[in-house]
């Protein structure tokens, strides 16, 4: 999934780094119940039941401290 120019501008305005890859500035991550407390936190944050096999998150953009 590639970012649109509007999304890139929004990230830049908020001091996020734009990663130049073929797939854009995003990646999928998966968190399962075996990941422990973080799985529970994500379920609570996103109001999920936790009954599924995992939670998939699309992470867009990065920022790094100097």
Residue 20, domain member (yes or no): yes
Is 24 a member of any domain? yes
For the stretch 11-60, pLDDT in tens is 888 887 776 666 667 778 899 999 999 999 999 999 999 888 899 988 87
Asked if residue 65 belongs to a domain, the reply is: no
Helical H segments across 3-63, by residue range: 5-13, 37-45
In a domain, 66, yes or no: no
Q: Is residue 22 part of a domain?
A: yes
Asked whether residue 52 is assigned to any structural domain, the reply reads: yes
Instruction: Give the domain extent around 10.
Output: 5-60
pLDDT at 16: 78
CB of 25 within 8 A of CB of 3?
yes
Domain count across the chain: 1
Q: The pTM is what? A: 0.57
Pull the structure tokens for residue 50. Answer: 């936790």
Chain centroid offset of residue 24 CA: 13
Asked if residue 41 is part of any domain, the answer here is yes
Residue 50 lies in a domain: yes
């Amino acid at each position: 999934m590639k970012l649109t120019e509007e999304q890139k501008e929004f990230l830049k305005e908020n001091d996020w780094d734009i990663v130049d890859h073929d797939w854009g500035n995003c990646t999928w991550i998966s968190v399962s119940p075996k990941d422990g407390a973080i799985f529970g936190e994500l379920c609570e944050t996103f109001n999920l039941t936790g009954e599924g096999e995992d939670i998939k998150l699309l992470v867009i953009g990065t920022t790094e401290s100097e």
